[in-house]
Amino acid sequence: MIRRALARAEITSPSTLDIMFEPVLPISQCPPGTIQRAELHQRPLAVYHLLKPDCFMVSDAPCPHAGAHLADGQLIGANVICPVHHWKMDLATGHCLGVDRVYLRRYACIVEQGLLKVDLDQPLPVPPPAKYHF
């Protein structure tokens, strides 16, 4: 609850950021184009190092279909392919492509001093499916 309150408060010092974002992995352990396993507060996470754009993404590790670990999947562009039934999830939006109303929870993350840090209290918003854009 304190962390959520801080997320809404104005960020005034690096120590505030340290409270919100917690280290999960040295970025050296997640080379470009790979997915790595991580865990924070007993929550299994998948860490993705996208090639284009060169950035990191973090999501819950269990696939929203039947729970396969997405770090065992395949990273193609900004999509992760589940290793079991091959659902494709768009990391940019969280949408499971071709499956209505099923989403992959992703989290805000930052890189600081060689560490990937995640704020579990900040799931990224899921935009409406493209077919509903006006």
Residues near ligand FES (CB under 6 A): 63, 65-68, 82, 84-85, 87
Whether the bond between 53 and the residue before it is cis, its omega within 30 degrees of 0, is: yes
Give the count of beta carbons closer than 10 Å to the beta carbon of residue 59.
26
Do residues 103 and 125 make contact, with C-beta atoms less than 8 angstroms apart? no
CB of 70 to ligand FES, least distance (A): 8
CA-only gyration radius of the chain, Å: 15
Least distance from ligand FES to the Cβ atom of residue 102, Å: 10
User: Is there a contact between 112 and 24 (Cβ–Cβ < 8 Å)?
Assistant: no
Closer to ligand FES by Cβ: residue 3 or 69: 69
Nearest-approach distance from CB 120 to ligand FES, in angstroms: 22
Nearer to ligand FES, 11 or 66 (CB): 66
Nearer to ligand FES, 67 or 129 (CB): 67
